[in-house]
């Protein structure tokens, strides 16, 4: 069974601070996606990483896929209150059936 | 912008009632999914469908059932709701081994 461990589970920081969220597994994934979810809404895709070692940037967010495609990180620079939400990583299983395996999520609170 | 809709958004019902959660998408996606999520927690796949007349159970056992008679419609039914079914139910669709687009969810409370 493929599992994704996300850490930390909760993070409360001040506006302007930097943070990193980790997503780790002992399994290899075809690709890994990061979603952001606001209360009362469904998750919205932020990025998909496919190639081992790949780095993608989305404004103040930097996503990295591990060389072995078993882990990923999300780094936010100068966090803002609008970044508050639940961040979920999801790996596409190796069978490529389209089923995603989700991590437990990281709840981020950015205080003004 | 994804076009996937779920109704109702919120539902409070008594134990023993039969309920159907609706999910529709207008993107022509073949693959559709139902997830169960407790507040602030990960998503657990409970049902999925790869096309019309195709349904499979997901990784998390669920007493709910689904049907896929039309490409755009993937309703979920609970024959007899119980308090243990209280949760958020999220529907998603995709074209293939790629991005899943999520609906806004239905928050179900069973008293």
pLDDT of B39 reads 81
The strand pairing partners of B24, in sequence order, are B5, B73
Confidence at A94, pLDDT banded by 50, 70, 90: low
How would you write the pLDDT of chain B (111 residues) with one tens digit per residue? 569 999 999 999 999 999 999 999 999 999 999 999 998 788 999 999 999 999 999 888 788 999 999 999 999 999 999 999 999 999 999 986 668 899 999 999 999
The CA-atom distances, in angstroms, between B7 and each of A10, A76, B66 are: 30, 34, 15
Distance from CA of B34 to the nearest CA of A (A): 11
C-beta separation of B32 from B25 below 8 A? yes
Looking at beta carbons, which residues of chain A come within 8 Å of B94?
98
For the residues of A45-95, what is the DSSP string, one character each? EEEEE-STT-EEEETTEEEEE-TTSSEEEEEESS--GGG-EEEEEEEE-TT
The full set of domains in chain B, from first to last, is 4-110 (2.60.40.10)
Reading phi first (left if > 0) and then psi (alpha if -120 to 50, else beta), residue B40 is in left
pLDDT of A84 reads 96
pLDDT more than 90, % of chain B: 81
Judge: B43–A107 Cβ closer than 8 Å, yes or no: no
What is the spatial distance between Cα A53 and Cα A51, in angstroms, rounded to a whole number? 6
Judge: A97–B97 Cβ closer than 8 Å, yes or no: yes
The strand pairing partners of A74, in sequence order, are A21, A63
Judge: A102–B43 Cβ closer than 8 Å, yes or no: yes
Residue of A8, A30, A98 best to disrupt the B interface, most CBs of B under 10 A? A98
Task: Find, among A92, A89, A59, the residue nearest to A74 by Cα.
Answer: A89
pLDDT tens column, A27-82: 888 889 999 999 888 999 999 999 999 999 999 999 999 999 999 999 999 999 99
The full set of domains in chain A, from first to last, is 16-90 (2.60.40.10)
Judge: B99–A41 Cβ closer than 8 Å, yes or no: no
């Amino acid at each position: 069974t493929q599992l994704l461990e996300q850490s930390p589970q909760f993070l409360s920081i001040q506006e302007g601070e930097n943070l990193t969220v980790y997503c780790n597994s002992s399994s290899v994934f075809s690709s890994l996606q990061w979603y952001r979810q606001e209360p009362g809404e469904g998750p919205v895709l932020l990025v998909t990483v496919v190639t081992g070692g790949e780095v993608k940037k989305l404004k103040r967010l930097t996503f990295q896929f591990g060389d072995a495609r078993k882990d990923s990180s999300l780094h936010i620079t100068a966090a803002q209150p609008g970044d508050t939400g639940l961040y979920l990583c999801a790996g596409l299983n190796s069978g490529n059936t389209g089923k995603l395996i989700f991590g437990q999520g990281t709840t981020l609170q950015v205080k003004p | 912008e994804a076009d996937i809709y779920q109704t109702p958004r919120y539902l409070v019902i008594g134990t023993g009632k039969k309920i159907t959660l609706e999910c529709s998408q207008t993107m022509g996606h073949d693959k559709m999914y139902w997830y169960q999520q407790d507040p602030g927690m990960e998503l657990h796949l409970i049902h999925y469908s790869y096309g019309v007349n195709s349904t499979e159970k997901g990784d998390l056992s669920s007493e709910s059932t689904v049907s896929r008679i039309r490409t755009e419609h993937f309703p979920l039914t609970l024959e007899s709701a119980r308090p243990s079914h209280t949760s958020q139910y999220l529907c998603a669709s995709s074209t293939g081994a790629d991005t899943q687009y999520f609906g806004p969810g239905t928050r179900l409370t069973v008293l």
